[in-house]
């Protein structure tokens, strides 16, 4: 059974149109929604929460149409970016809030609190007020409150964006663990591509109010279905060379390359297109053959485990991700080859070929 | 001498700078300069606050009245110690005026509070025409109290709109009736000052972050529960301020009543400020008036400070 199902939902704003949105989120799935700011991510959450009156389409929760359901009856919890803890209540009161609101018995509240505080390790902060807690502790209490509600799904709107990097990585692992151990449905929204890719079972990429691609992170990364997704996912972003496919379809011709680039299979003879290659799929070479390109290195960024090389390839700035630490520009070869198995080809409409 | 001090201060290890150290040297000169900058305000304050209060205190300890012909600074000739204060304790006119003031306060302020709270609750969410209704609601507060008094004076006439609307005979009088006069006055005060309550309370309600309200709503709270558990607890300081403000203002209510009833019929609507006014201009008993004024000021200040101290403690 699907926890959340959105069918053809459209919502027109004065300057922005959301949708049509089609989305199916399975029970127990960790579903990521990724997109640049103002792509409509929050609107999708509002749609699920019932805070958005959509113009067309339908939303169903657990197989039942949700159009008549009150916000409170949808049984969906949310963790907000600023957490929205109740500052005048202790950690315990915050966590048990959904239970007391629903008139649960004392025994039930105690049992639930115990279960939640065990998975979250929050025993020691139950007496504290949010103001006395650290960022990570507040995070846990906010999660605890969502978990205690025992809801159909938990929506997380950039829940860890406010934490520092180290804590963010810890919470990421923690979130995944919690989601797995409770078999909860999580809908996780973030504009941090790395975060979403690392944590989600499936990812939806949103651009300009539409869902452009849905798939497992591997799919989205290795087979982006359009140029926009290819540019959004991956850091540093994919290198793109615009040009045209040769008349026989076996080469890609681009001003940046000294010679036409051979393609592994015959593609769109004579059409205009774009060739994309990820920074890590460009390799150093000593070979001076037709498959290699000469580069002029403009700067290097040694990042420890790998190095980002900024180089000019036929007049176009190209990012190369080289393994290991390269400290001097001279240590990198002056010629590179593209991994032909990992080319991304896009047609004139920027769709994947 | 100054140099020596400055040396000592600069020789002190970093981080141990005391407040005194901070103000020495250049900074101390700055403070002197600052004193000159605020001097005009201080002089102004001296004349409009401290001097009148001192004079009031001085007169309240004498029998002085403008009828004597003695200049006020010679009032000490009729020095009587605390006799004016003894008199006010046993003055039945003062006590009944005080009682009526408290009655207005005890009825009007809770009514204004409940109405203001209810209205503010309605205005939390957006609805079509919210801005217009908001402006309309705030209008009474902006009308001069004397004008409000005149309005209600006319409304409550025997042949006025209110009697007409409810089909009451012209002989059914409001302002001249022993009981209804007070009700009329309270209605007028509620009409004028509910908007202020509304304004303060709405500001307090909107101060609660929307995310918290939404979170509470998602977690299954009804509107009323959320209001009680999330909004109200956070509004305590604002509520305290609103109540203290309106309560103190009840002691100052004057123009409204003066225009509507002149404190009548008899003394039925005579509040403390009307009583003071009558003592001042009818009886010219100025030293006694000074004593009453000072006493009220003292009592109200203490009460207000207590009300607001609760706030300060809560926040700490």
Confidence of residue B34 (pLDDT cuts 50, 70, 90): confident
- Answer whether residue A331 shows pLDDT above 90: no
Q: Are residue A85 and residue A133 in the same domain, yes or no?
A: yes
- Answer whether residue A160 shows pLDDT above 70: yes
Contact B134, B305 (CB under 8 A): no
Parallel/antiparallel/unpaired status of strands A251-253 and A239-245 = antiparallel
3-state secondary structure of B154: helix
Structure tokens, A314: 């036929």
The last residue of a domain, from among A231, A260, A283: A231
pLDDT in tens, B177-219: 888 899 999 999 999 999 999 999 999 988 888 888 888 888 8
CA distance B51 to B29: 30
A121-134 average pLDDT score: 86
- Answer whether residue B49 shows pLDDT above 80: yes
- Answer whether residue B11 shows pLDDT above 70: no
Test the A interface: residue of B204, B211, B220, B226 with most A CBs within 10 Å: B220
Nearest chain A residue to B223, by CA: A72
Tokens 């009032």 belong to residue: B75
Q: Are residue A161 and residue A252 in the same domain, yes or no?
A: no
User: What's the Cα-to-Cα distance from A304 to each of A151, A170, A307, rounded to whole Å?
Assistant: 43, 21, 7
**How many residues are there in chain A?**
353
Q: Is residue A351 part of a domain?
A: no
Residues from chain A that touch B238, judged by Cβ atoms under 8 A, are none
Burial class (CB in 10 A: 0-12, 13-18, 19+), A292: buried
C-alpha distance across the termini of chain A, in Å: 34
Q: Are residue A153 and residue A284 in the same domain, yes or no?
A: no
A81-110 average pLDDT score: 87
How many separate domains does chain A show? 2
Q: Measured between CA atoms, how close is A83 to chain B, in angstroms?
A: 8
Q: At a CB cut-off of 8 Å and minimum separation 6, what does B203 contact? A: B238
- Answer whether residue A161 shows pLDDT above 70: yes
B212, A101: Cβ pair inside 8 Å? no
Which residues of A make CB contacts under 8 Å with B?
49, 51, 71-72, 74, 76-78, 80, 82, 84-88, 97-98, 101-102, 145, 149
Q: At a CB cut-off of 8 Å and minimum separation 6, what does A276 contact? A: A227, A230, A238, A239, A240, A241, A343, A344, A345, A346
Q: Tell me, what's the pLDDT at B171? A: 82
> Which residues constitute the domain of residue A46?
2-231
A221-229 average pLDDT score: 91
Count other Cβ atoms within 10 Å, centred on residue B217. 21
- Answer whether residue B109 shows pLDDT above 90: yes
Q: Are residue A329 and residue A187 in the same domain, yes or no?
A: no
Residues from chain B that touch A84, judged by Cβ atoms under 8 A, are 209, 211-212, 214-215
Structure tokens, B194: 């509910």
pLDDT in tens, A274-309: 999 999 999 888 888 777 888 888 888 888 889 999
Q: Is residue A269 part of a domain?
A: yes
Structure tokens, A311: 């180089």
CATH of the domain at A174: 3.40.50.300
Q: Is residue A113 part of a domain?
A: yes
More confident residue, B6 or B275: B275
H or E stretch covering B242: helix B232-250
Q: Tell me, what's the pLDDT at B211? A: 84
Structure tokens, B82: 């605390």
CA distance B276 to B88: 12
Confidence of residue B224 (pLDDT cuts 50, 70, 90): confident
Q: Are residue A158 and residue A108 in the same domain, yes or no?
A: yes
- Answer whether residue B14 shows pLDDT above 60: no
Mean pLDDT of all residues in chain A?
Answer: 87
Structure tokens, A167: 């804590």
Test the A interface: residue of B126, B218, B233 with most A CBs within 10 Å: B218
A102, B214: Cβ pair inside 8 Å? no
B240-258 average pLDDT score: 90
CATH class given for the domain over B91-284: mainly alpha
Q: Are residue A226 and residue A105 in the same domain, yes or no?
A: yes
pLDDT in tens, B130-152: 999 999 999 999 999 999 999 99
**Packed helices B92-122 and B272-281: angle between N→C axes, nearest 10 degrees:** 140
CA distance A262 to A248: 11
Strands across the sheet containing A292-294: A282-285, A335-338, A292-294
Q: At a CB cut-off of 8 Å and minimum separation 6, what does A345 contact? A: A252, A263, A267, A273, A274, A275, A276, A352, A353
The last residue of a domain, from among A185, A201, A231: A231
Least confident of A43-57, B16-30, B186-200, B298-312: B16-30
Q: Are residue A168 and residue A58 in the same domain, yes or no?
A: yes
Q: Are residue A218 and residue A244 in the same domain, yes or no?
A: no
Residues from chain B that touch A101, judged by Cβ atoms under 8 A, are 216, 219-221, 225
More confident residue, B6 or A162: A162
More confident residue, B125 or B191: B191
Q: Tell me, what's the pLDDT at A218? A: 92
Q: Tell me, what's the pLDDT at B12? A: 42
Confidence of residue B62 (pLDDT cuts 50, 70, 90): confident
3-state secondary structure of A163: coil
Q: Are residue A178 and residue A243 in the same domain, yes or no?
A: no
- Residue ranges per domain, chain B? 1-43, 91-284
Q: Tell me, what's the pLDDT at B1? A: 38
- Answer whether residue B241 shows pLDDT above 50: yes
B215 touches A at CB < 8 Å: yes
Residues from chain B that touch A145, judged by Cβ atoms under 8 A, are 215, 219
Q: Are residue A176 and residue A32 in the same domain, yes or no?
A: yes
Least confident of A51-65, A71-85, B299-313: B299-313
Residues from chain B that touch A98, judged by Cβ atoms under 8 A, are 219-220
Q: What percent of chain B clears pLDDT 90, i.e. is strictly above it? A: 30
Mean pLDDT of all residues in chain B?
Answer: 84
Test the B interface: residue of A87, A152, A155 with most B CBs within 10 Å: A87
Q: Is residue A353 part of a domain?
A: no
3-state SS track over A186-234: EEEEECCHHHHHHHCCEEEEEECCEEEEEECHHHHHHCCCEHHHHHHCC
Q: What percent of chain B clears pLDDT 70, i.e. is strictly above it? A: 89
Least confident of A79-83, B100-104, B107-111, B311-315: B311-315
Nearest to B298 by CA among B57, B48, B103: B57
Task: Give me the interface pTM, i.e. the ipTM.
Answer: 0.72
Tokens 């409810």 belong to residue: B166
C-alpha distance across the termini of chain B, in Å: 42
- Answer whether residue A264 shows pLDDT above 50: yes
CATH of the domain at A307: 2.40.50.140
The last residue of a domain, from among A171, A196, A231: A231
pLDDT in tens, A240-251: 998 888 888 888
User: What's the Cα-to-Cα distance from A272 to each of A52, A278, B238, rounded to whole Å?
Assistant: 41, 20, 66
Q: Tell me, what's the pLDDT at B13? A: 45
């Amino acid at each position: 059974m699907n926890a959340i199902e959105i069918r053809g939902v459209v919502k027109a704003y004065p300057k922005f149109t959301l949708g049509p949105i089609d989305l199916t989120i399975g029970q127990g799935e960790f579903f990521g929604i990724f997109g640049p700011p103002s792509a409509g991510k929050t609107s999708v959450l509002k749609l699920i929460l019932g805070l958005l009156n959509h113009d067309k389409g339908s939303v169903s929760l657990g197989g039942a149409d949700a159009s008549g359901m009150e916000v409170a009856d949808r049984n969906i919890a949310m963790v907000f970016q600023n957490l929205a803890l109740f500052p005048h209540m202790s950690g315990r009161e915050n966590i048990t809030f959904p239970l007391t609101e629903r008139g649960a018995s004392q025994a039930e509240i105690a049992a639930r609190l115990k279960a939640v505080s065990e998975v979250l390790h929050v025993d020691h902060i139950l007496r504290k007020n949010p103001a006395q807690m650290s960022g990570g502790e507040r995070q846990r209490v906010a999660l605890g409150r969502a978990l205690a509600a025992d809801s159909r799904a938990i929506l997380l709107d950039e829940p860890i964006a406010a934490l520092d990097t180290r804590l963010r990585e810890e919470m990421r692992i923690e979130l995944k663990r919690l989601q797995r151990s409770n078999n909860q449905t999580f809908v996780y929204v973030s504009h941090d591509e790395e975060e979403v890719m690392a944590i989600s079972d499936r990812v939806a990429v949103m651009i300009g109010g539409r869902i452009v691609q849905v798939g497992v992170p591997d799919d989205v990364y290795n087979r982006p279905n359009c140029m926009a997704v290819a540019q959004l996912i991956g850091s540093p972003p994919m290198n793109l060379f615009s040009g045209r496919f040769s008349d026989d379809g076996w080469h890609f011709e681009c001003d940046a390359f000294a010679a036409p680039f051979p393609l592994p299979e015959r593609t769109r003879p004579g059409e205009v297109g774009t060739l994309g290659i990820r920074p890590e799929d460009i390799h150093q070479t000593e070979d001076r053959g037709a498959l290699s390109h000469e580069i002029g290195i403009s700067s290097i960024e040694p990042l420890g485990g790998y190095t980002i090389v900024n180089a000019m390839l036929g007049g176009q700035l190209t990012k190369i991700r080289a393994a290991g630490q390269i400290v001097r520009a001279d240590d990198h070869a002056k010629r590179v080859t593209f991994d032909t198995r990992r080319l991304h080809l896009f047609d004139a409409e920027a769709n994947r070929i | 001498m100054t140099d020596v001090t400055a040396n000592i201060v600069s020789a002190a290890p970093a981080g141990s700078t005391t407040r005194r150290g901070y103000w020495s040297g250049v900074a101390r000169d700055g403070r002197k300069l600052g004193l000159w900058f605020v001097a005009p305000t201080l002089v102004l304050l001296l004349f409009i606050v401290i001097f009148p209060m001192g004079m009031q205190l001085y007169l309240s300890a004498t029998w002085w009245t403008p009828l004597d012909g003695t200049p006020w600074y010679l009032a000490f000739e009729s020095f009587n110690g605390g006799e004016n204060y003894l008199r006010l304790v046993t003055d039945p006119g003062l006590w009944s005026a005080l009682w009526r003031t408290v009655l207005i306060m005890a009825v009007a302020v809770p009514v204004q509070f409940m109405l203001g709270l209810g209205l503010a609750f309605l205005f939390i969410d957006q609805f079509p025409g919210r801005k217009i209704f908001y402006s309309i609601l705030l209008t009474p507060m902006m009308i001069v109290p004397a004008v409000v008094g005149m309005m209600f004076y006319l409304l409550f006439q025997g042949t006025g709109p209110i009697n007409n609307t409810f089909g009451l005979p012209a002989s059914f009088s409001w302002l001249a009736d022993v009981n209804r006069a007070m009700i009329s006055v309270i209605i007028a005060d509620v009409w004028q000052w509910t908007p202020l309550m509304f304004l303060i309370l709405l500001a307090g309600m909107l101060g609660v972050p929307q995310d918290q309200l939404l979170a509470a709503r998602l977690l299954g709270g009804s509107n009323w529960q959320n209001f009680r558990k999330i909004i109200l607890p956070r509004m305590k300081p604002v509520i305290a301020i609103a109540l203290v403000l309106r309560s103190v203002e009840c002691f100052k209510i004057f123009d409204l009543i003066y225009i509507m009833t002149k404190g009548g019929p008899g003394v039925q609507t005579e509040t403390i400020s009307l009583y003071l006014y009558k003592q001042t201009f009818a009886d010219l008993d100025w030293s006694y008036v000074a004593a009453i004024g000072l006493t009220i000021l003292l009592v109200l200040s203490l009460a207000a400070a207590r009300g607001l101290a609760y706030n300060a403690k809560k926040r700490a």
